[in-house]
Structure 1
Amino acid sequence: MHDHAAESALFRRRALFTFICVTLLLLVLMGNLYHLQITSFKDYATRSNDNRIRVVPLPPSRGLIYDRNGKLLAENRPFYSLEVIPEKVKNMQRMLDELSTVIPLSDEERQNFTDALKFHRRFKPLTLKNHLSEQQLATFSVNQYRFEGVSVEAGLNRYYPYGELLTHVLGYVGRINNRDQKALELSGNWPDYAATHDIGKQGVEKFYEGLLHGKPGHLEEEVNNLGRHIRTLKVEPPEPGQDIYLTIDLALQQKAMELLDGRRGSIVAIDPQDGGILAMASSPSYDPNQFVHGIGTKAYSELLNSRARPLINRATQGQYAPASTVKPLLALMGLEDGIITEKTRIWDPGFWQIPGVERKYRDWKRWGHGWVDVYGALVHSCDTYFYDLAYKSGIDRIANFMTQFGFGENTGVDIYEESPGNMPSRDWKRLRYNQPWYIGDTISVGIGQGYWTTTPLQLASATTVLANQGRRLPPHLLKSIKDSTSMIEPPVEERPPVTLKNTRHWHTIADAMRQTAHKSRFNDAHYSAAMKTGTGQVFSVAEDAKYDADTIDEHLRDNALIVAYAPFEHPKMVVAVILENAGWGGKNAGPVARAMMDEYLLRDQWELTDAQP
């Protein structure tokens, strides 16, 4: 017999247990639903949108670069590339073969495309060929109907219309490499380059990268679960980079490169009224446009290994003995410190000797200048006078005084490619060679030779201080910045001036430099000028030997130098010229400085003459 009471009790217990389990499960389910739909709603909604909405960064347009007169020096030019969406192409190899009959494709381009295709999403476009010519663009446009999935896309690339003329001023942009990326990550600027492929590599392009680059925008698009585009939801346009205007005068820069005519050397011209660099030419140069698109290994190797060293910016990195161009500053030091006066004279028989030493330090004029004072020593560039002055002054006094004019330190010009040169001292020689300083070292420094080296920009900057009678304006290339609303001219921060106990000494040196100019290259000029030439030795000549340029290697011949400023009464231009291995400074560098002065100071007269019928 069945025990109905026991079975009924068992059923009730089982039913109650089942009910409790179902209830608990329903409570867990309700709790999870509450958590998903209420507590964590915002979190999961955001995740859903992240999967549904894709943010695509938009690159900004790079700022343009102009000269002081508004002439375009660096621009952005459109370029066109062939893009392929693989999933729309039924037979890839046949398409490439047919396309090659319309637009030539190199084996390298085809191979690169095939390799990239292996790791590429088929619904996304992939670049097949960059930088189509106008003819290729037109040809493909006519035949585009034959190639489903192939299209032309446009972009912007940096372009330098004047090529090698301004390479060492502007620099160039190039592809962002691993080193650039690490630097951007460390600075916290990497997100701004999410859509950018290029960055300033040298010159103004690198120094003012923060102004020129701009701010990226972004595009929000809705995609499906496979990542395919459905629709565009929002577009925030990028903010273009700011345009900048340089102090460079394009016509004067062209004149400088024309005068150099491929010779190794440099010309720097500065406006002494504000320190703006009017021209900064380094020769030989190279075309920066080849770096924008990626220079080939062979072409880069030729530049890198060239004996003429075109990659070096000679204006800021070339290191040369200043030679006689610094004699005005040495004479100024002697006057200021009371070592000499305007009436101090010495006898120059063609050589000078350290007391008690047999060695003779020769004057450039082998029979000497006779009795000379400070005026005659500067006008005739008497080496003997400055041997004696250096001996009486000592290297400590010379180094301390010359440092005030910027020798041995960077000028602060707004490009990174700069060398400080070398203003020698006792400590420097001890650290560099572990040797003591000898009096003979001082004698060589007294005529701008020996261990003393400088750059053309340093020479021009020091001469600017001389022309301004102590006022120090750091040389700079930036004139103004243009944004969407206005033109901004950054203030020029002057450095502490060079002060003299007797300001008459400025006029003494200036008068001697004016006499020098009047008796040589500027005697028939339509303006008054001041100048000092120099001939820098590249190697030492034995005491009894005679220098003969015709019998030595061209790279060992003397460098030709000159510094000058004009008009004398109110200087508007300072020029420094260095021609490597060109020989006598007055004969070879002098005409170059005169031509630069004429080009700039007489421009208004020439324009007026050309305008007359």
Structure 2
Amino acid sequence: MNIPIKDQFRESRLFNARLTVVGAIVLALILALFLRLAYLQIFAYRHFETLSQANRVKPIPIQPPRGLILDRHGVVLAQNYPVYTLEIIPEQVDDMNSLLEELKQVVNLNEADLKNFHKQLRERPRFENLLLRSHLTEEEAARLAVRRTYFSGVELEARLQRHYPLAGLGVHFLGYVARINEQELERIDKATYRGMQHIGKLGVEVSYEKTLLGQVGFEKVETNAHGRSLRILERIAPVAGKNLHLSIDAKLQALAEQALGKRRGAVIALEPATGAILAFVSTPTYDPNPFVNGIDPDSYQALLDDPDKPLINRALNGQYALGSTIKAFLGLAALELENFDAGKPIACPGWFTLPGSSHQFRDWKKSGHGTMNLHDAVVQSCDVYFYRLAVAMEVDAMKKFLASFGFGGKTGVDLLSESEGLLPSVAWKEARGQKWYPGETVITGIGQGSILVTPLQLAAAMSALANQGVRMKPQLVRAIVDAKTRAARETVPEAYAQIPLKDKQHLDIQIQNLTDVVHTNKGTAYGIGYNSPYKIAGKTGTAQVKGIAQGQSYSEKHTPERFRDHALFVSFAPVGDPKVAVAVVVENGGHGSSAAAPIARKVMDHVILGKTSATPGAAAPASENDE
């Protein structure tokens, strides 16, 4: 029997070899595990931290640059410039009061800043960046940047701030942007305004809000459990708002505002053929820049309490009696009437009475004008002639004729909240439970009583006369330009229905009458026409503010300034090839010939001759009729 001999040495070697292999594998696995742990703990720490349950991907809105607003020559009226802002994300703050106290040690925070911030806290979502302080100085921004890691939920941002470099120039058509309030937050599309804090409030800033706004962009950012940004995963660039190029001439605007000076009033200058607005003036003005981030209560109250009411847009919402400027339009009606002979002379003794009444309706010229035909009545502004015309025409016919010039309705200008004025009628009075009296018809004939118009309506109506009876829609925006591609979409002029006339020669006759108002020595506006190198058609007006009882007389010298008559003047030039139509209203200015007409002359000189002021020379000769 053969018994195998066990080779212990060989088996020992085999076992040791296997043990070595297993040990090497184990060591390799341990090393691999160690390296993996080292990689995870050291090199891939941030990656896996962002994947933890407490982390998330946060979309951060990027505010688009708001479109610029420029005048017809490229002068910037509204722009954006970068400022440092201190913002807080409320949902990342545990103790807001403590945070605010700590921030006071880093930047200057006044009561207005804190009040506005707490207002936003009540109105805005807690996940949005809320503005605490804007316009940080470079020193404040540097201090905040150094200590930012100690403040949870605090952001230092570089934002684009709206700015109006010409301050109050043109503020009533330009408007301004300001912080979005609670009511606006309810009606706006929150996705469209994500991350934005301002919205157009007045003027073209609000009427072209969608055009100027642009489209918000986004960054998808990985944030850690403390809300700190770790890296940007994706970026969608914002789309800048489109630029507005206006028909306004900033130099002309400044000239007209300076011509009005400290007086309250309005000036409108239009291109008759297109309706383009060259100047849109309301005085006094105010600086819109403080409104952008919230004007302080004391300054705002001062504007409200100012007796000159600078916040009122007189050009758009001021409603005035036409005074004798109505004769520019009713004179044309006289030529159209079948029951009124415009060529028949009428005696003007200085007063007019209705049949069966002793009440005297006085002419502005106490001694009367003598014998008047239509031409003389327009040139010398004879009230008695137009009293008789009003009685023959009756109030409802006057309303219908004046409505064809746009009175009593909105002009359609590209601004919001335009006033309509008022064209009275028998039905209008009866709807208020009152009777229409014949005497009201009489005074309507000289632009007094219930009739009201805006300066913009006056300018648009005068443009219709200049444009051969075609009334154009007034427009402020000349072109909309894409900020990136520079592609421009120009505004197309819009015409309303032509004024219905039985004979177009009547329009030529009335234009000649209005030309003689300015260029003959009996004309009420001869003071601005005697030395003009171009022909002007115009009409003065004086609108009574304070009633005068029978038997009493008006004395401007003894009447308080705010109860004096308003001064008006409407015009266009050059006659035959009109380039501009102008309406001027000077509140409590007295006479249209002396207070309003010279302003219109300066405006027309600038447009037609390129001059910044009327040519100095000898004193204007006195007109025989200074209304």
Into which bin does the TM-score normalised by the smaller protein fall?
Answer: 0.7 to 0.9
Distance (Å, rounded) in 1 between the aligned partners of 2:381 and 2:171: 36
Q: Which residue of 2 aligns with 1:300?
A: 300
Q: Which residue of 2 aligns with 1:589?
A: 596
CA separation of 1:83 and 1:588: change in aligned 2, threshold 3 A: closer
Which letter does structure 2 place at the counterpart of 1:230? L
Which deviates further from its counterpart, 216-225 or 420-429? 216-225
Distance (Å, rounded) in 2 between the aligned partners of 1:361 and 1:322: 17
CA separation of 1:73 and 1:96: change in aligned 2, threshold 3 A: closer
CA separation of 1:535 and 1:396: change in aligned 2, threshold 3 A: same
2:392 equivalent to 1:392 = yes
Which letter does structure 2 place at the counterpart of 1:166? G
Task: Please show how residues 45-60 of structure 1 align to structure 2 within 5 Å.
Answer: 52-60=56-64
Which letter does structure 1 place at the counterpart of 2:506? H
2:272 equivalent to 1:272 = yes
Distance (Å, rounded) in 2 between the aligned partners of 1:199 and 1:254: 27
Residues 145 and 156 in structure 2, CA contact (< 8 A), matched pair in contact too:
no
Question: Alpha-carbon deviation of 1:468?
Answer: 0.9
Aligned length: 546
CA separation of 1:445 and 1:114: change in aligned 2, threshold 3 A: closer
Residues 203 and 417 in structure 1, CA contact (< 8 A), matched pair in contact too:
no
Distance (Å, rounded) in 1 between the aligned partners of 2:100 and 2:454: 58
2:479 equivalent to 1:477 = no
Distance (Å, rounded) in 2 between the aligned partners of 1:471 and 1:55: 54
Q: Which residue of 2 aligns with 1:174?
A: 178
2:541 equivalent to 1:540 = no
Q: Which residue of 1 aligns with 2:583?
A: 576
> In structure 1, which of residues 524, 532, 542 is the aligned counterpart of residue 531 of structure 2?
524
Which letter does structure 1 place at the counterpart of 2:480? I
Question: Alpha-carbon deviation of 1:143?
Answer: 9.3
Question: Alpha-carbon deviation of 1:144?
Answer: 6.0
Task: Please show how residues 80-95 of structure 1 align to structure 2 within 5 Å.
Answer: 80-82=84-86
TM-score normalised by the chain length of structure 1: 0.83
Residues 211 and 242 in structure 2, CA contact (< 8 A), matched pair in contact too:
yes
Distance (Å, rounded) in 2 between the aligned partners of 1:110 and 1:335: 67
Distance (Å, rounded) in 2 between the aligned partners of 1:584 and 1:59: 52
CA separation of 1:576 and 1:48: change in aligned 2, threshold 3 A: farther
Q: Which residue of 1 aligns with 2:621?
A: none
Which letter does structure 2 place at the counterpart of 1:508? I
Q: Which residue of 2 aligns with 1:131?
A: 135
Residues 71 and 250 in structure 2, CA contact (< 8 A), matched pair in contact too:
yes
Question: Alpha-carbon deviation of 1:123?
Answer: 13
Task: Please show how residues 122-201 of structure 1 align to structure 2 within 5 Å.
Answer: 129-132=133-136, 136-138=137-139, 141=142, 145=146, 149=150, 152-184=156-188, 189-201=189-201
Question: Alpha-carbon deviation of 1:152?
Answer: 4.6
Distance (Å, rounded) in 1 between the aligned partners of 2:115 and 2:496: 58
Unaligned 5+ segments in structure 2 are 1-50, 521-525, 614-627
- 1:448-489 superposed Cα distances (whole Å, 9 cap, x missing partner): 001111110011011111111211101110100001331111
- 1:174-224 superposed Cα distances (whole Å, 9 cap, x missing partner): 11112112222xxxx331001111010111000000100011111112345
Question: Alpha-carbon deviation of 1:226?
Answer: 5.9
Structure 1 stretches of 4+ with a deviation exceeding 3 A read: 47-52, 82-87, 91-99, 103-117, 120-129, 138-152, 223-230, 339-342
Q: Which residue of 1 aligns with 2:48?
A: none
Q: Which residue of 1 aligns with 2:233?
A: 233
More helix by share: 1
CA separation of 1:200 and 1:122: change in aligned 2, threshold 3 A: closer
Q: Which residue of 2 aligns with 1:549?
A: 556
Q: Which residue of 1 aligns with 2:506?
A: 505
2:82 equivalent to 1:78 = yes
Distance (Å, rounded) in 2 between the aligned partners of 1:605 and 1:307: 31
Q: Which residue of 1 aligns with 2:4?
A: none
Q: Which residue of 2 aligns with 1:19?
A: none
Which letter does structure 2 place at the counterpart of 1:289? N
CA separation of 1:197 and 1:358: change in aligned 2, threshold 3 A: same
Which letter does structure 2 place at the counterpart of 1:68? R
Distance (Å, rounded) in 2 between the aligned partners of 1:275 and 1:444: 31
State percent identity of aligned pairs: 40
2:505 equivalent to 1:493 = no
2:456 equivalent to 1:457 = yes
- 1:421-451 superposed Cα distances (whole Å, 9 cap, x missing partner): 100001111123x112111010010000011
- 1:253-275 superposed Cα distances (whole Å, 9 cap, x missing partner): 00011011121111111111200
Distance (Å, rounded) in 1 between the aligned partners of 2:450 and 2:491: 37
Which letter does structure 2 place at the counterpart of 1:78? P
- 1:329-374 superposed Cα distances (whole Å, 9 cap, x missing partner): 1111121122334522101111111122111111111111111100
Which deviates further from its counterpart, 333-342 or 524-533? 333-342
Distance (Å, rounded) in 2 between the aligned partners of 1:559 and 1:122: 53
Distance (Å, rounded) in 2 between the aligned partners of 1:333 and 1:228: 75
Which letter does structure 1 place at the counterpart of 2:364? W
CA separation of 1:92 and 1:210: change in aligned 2, threshold 3 A: closer
Residues 112 and 296 in structure 2, CA contact (< 8 A), matched pair in contact too:
no
Which letter does structure 2 place at the counterpart of 1:468? N
TM-score normalised by the chain length of structure 2: 0.81
Which letter does structure 1 place at the counterpart of 2:461? A
Distance (Å, rounded) in 1 between the aligned partners of 2:167 and 2:548: 41
**Secondary structure in 2 matching 1:222:** strand
Distance (Å, rounded) in 1 between the aligned partners of 2:185 and 2:530: 57
CA separation of 1:83 and 1:439: change in aligned 2, threshold 3 A: closer
CA separation of 1:360 and 1:296: change in aligned 2, threshold 3 A: same
CA separation of 1:341 and 1:193: change in aligned 2, threshold 3 A: same
Task: Please show how residues 189-338 of structure 1 align to structure 2 within 5 Å.
Answer: 189-224=189-224, 227-338=227-338
Alignment root-mean-square deviation, CA: 3.1
